[in-house]
Amino acid sequence: MFESMDLKFLKSKLTETESLIFKSSQIHGLGGFAKADIPSGTRVIEYLGEKITKQESVRRCEAGNHYIFALNDREDLDGNVDWNPACFINHSCAPNCEVEWDGRHIWIVARRDIEAGEEITFNYGYDLVDYREYLCACGSADCVGYLVAEVFFDRVRKSQPHSQSPST
């Protein structure tokens, strides 16, 4: 799924935006990289997609679509479209960006100053349902090994056989 999206994106010749260039990532597949320094609080890129019902969202998720954002109680946004370069921004357990929903748009926003050339990342915020199926390769010192929301980090660390208590 991810590799075919990478190929589809490259064939579209949309390899950069005003503030990002998309190229091979050490984290996974393609990634978005800052073309210039980006100050904290800057809207880096909008996450675009097709608005779909919750019922359709469940169907697409069950079919392996990993690009869906929950919007509200009735609708979600499916970012698995050719015209959404933001779908190539990778997950990190120590992200430099966060997601901001303003009621109409999903923005990827810098949570700290980002240097030119740095890969743009955000935490995908997955829950604990089947989390062991979604391995993380972000490489950060704080990596928990899975694509889970930060609120679950301690719980996931405690469930790992190699985790140690703070007193050891």
Question: 1-25 burial by CB neighbour count: b if 16+ within 10 A, else e?
Answer: eeeebbeebeeeeeeeeebbebeeb
Element (DSSP H or E) covering residue 62: helix 54-62
**pLDDT, position 76:** 95
**pLDDT, position 32:** 96
**pLDDT, position 14:** 58
Which residues of the chain have a pLDDT value below 50? 1-3, 11-12, 163-168
**pLDDT, position 148:** 94
What's the whole-model pTM score?
Answer: 0.84
Q: In 10 A of CB 49, how many CB atoms?
A: 21
Whole-angstrom CA distances from 97 to 1, 50, 119, 139 are 24, 23, 10, 16
